[in-house]
């Protein structure tokens, strides 16, 4: 499987290339404020020893020998993530662009529910709000997945 991963607000998502394209990974919310996408992907920054990183990160969940496609934020992981490079063939650049567009389409559908695109005002206290937000995001994600599997794919096949 080849997939796209992007950090969306405080969530990491991954879209599969299998037909029909659908979300195959969701992790979050990531509790430590603003982090670079690659830091979320790796489960820690470059200075964090690998044994101390978050083992729930996508970096540790990837099957051995598989690569994902991503935007330039992931250029620091060339063994695991393919990003657009000027020396690539035009057909490969176009294919990677279409893959990234799938991820953006998924993000747009998730944001239509206004859980990720607007201020979240439910719950009391930080921990409860994070739990409520996670539940709402996972629920919306399941609705979008159901939609993809039942006649409304991310892209026409």
Summarised one tens digit per residue, pLDDT across range 102-127 is 888 888 888 888 777 677 778 788 77
Summarised one tens digit per residue, pLDDT across range 14-24 is 887 776 667 78
| % of the chain exceeding 90 in pLDDT | 12
Instruction: Give the β-pairing of 81-82 and 68-69.
Output: parallel
- Tell me how far apart the alpha carbons of residues 77 and 42 are, in angstroms, rounded to a whole number: 9
Average pLDDT, the chain: 81
3-class DSSP state for residue 6?
strand
pLDDT at position 144 is: 87
Instruction: Give residue limits of the domains in the chain.
Output: 3-149
Summarised one tens digit per residue, pLDDT across range 80-103 is 988 999 999 999 999 888 888 888
State the pLDDT confidence band at 60, using cuts at 50, 70 and 90.
very high
């Amino acid at each position: 499987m080849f997939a796209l991963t992007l950090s969306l607000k405080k969530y990491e998502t991954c879209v599969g290339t299998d037909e029909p394209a659908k979300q195959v990974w969701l992790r979050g919310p990531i509790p430590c404020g603003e982090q670079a996408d690659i830091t979320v992907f790796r489960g820690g920054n470059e200075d964090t020893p690998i044994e101390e990183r978050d083992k729930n990160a996508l970096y540790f969940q990837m099957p051995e020998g598989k690569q994902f496609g991503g935007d330039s934020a992931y250029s620091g992981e060339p063994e695991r993530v393919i990003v657009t490079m000027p020396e690539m063939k035009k057909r490969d650049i176009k294919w990677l662009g279409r893959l990234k567009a799938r991820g953006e389409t998924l993000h747009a559908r998730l944001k239509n529910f206004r859980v990720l695109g607007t201020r979240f005002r439910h719950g009391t206290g930080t921990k409860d709000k994070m739990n409520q937000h996670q539940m709402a995001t996972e629920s919306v994600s399941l609705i979008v997945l159901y939609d993809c599997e039942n006649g409304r794919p991310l892209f026409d096949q």
